[in-house]
Amino acid sequence: MNTAIYPGTFDPITNGHSDLIERAARLFDEVIVAIASSPKKQPLLPLEERVRLVQEVMAHRPNVRVVGFSNLLAEFVQQQGGNIILRGLRAASDFEYEFQLADMNRHLAPDVESLFLTPANHLSYISSTLIREIAALNGRVEDFVHPLVAESLRKRFNQNPQ
């Protein structure tokens, strides 16, 4: 059985993330979306809300599980029985950092492979950082995130629907 762990902060989950999860769910027996607490990044949304949103967005996929974590990724993967770390690459500029992470994870968990997927072309420019900035300035994010996520961001910024 191949269990892929897709880690990230998902602050918030975007359509690019969803695209990768959908494709991974067709490739692997189980996909665990591992949502990092990431206190150093000072996420906009609390961990519990990020977990809930991803669970709701991916509820139609029975082989996708969503788990929050705050320990070392290599440890988490082993605790979950994962054998694959799935990472997304949006642009060539992501590659150097991701390559470094893959090498470190290979050292820490030699039995775990890192695999990379790219999002669909029309989603490659979307990032959680951009979505947060647009939402904070009362911009429309509906083209970039699931409606539940857009609603959560409106509530976070005390905004009315447009």
Pull the structure tokens for residue 130.
Answer: 């951009």
For the chain, first and last CA: distance in Å? 45
Q: Which residue spans within the chain are E strands per DSSP?
A: 3-8, 30-36, 64-69, 84-88, 113-117
- The residues assigned a catalytic role are 17, 41, 90, 128
Length of the chain: 162
8 Å CB contact between 107 and 74: no
Helices of type H across 28-114: 47-57, 73-80, 92-108
- Rounded CA gap, 13 and 20, in Å? 11
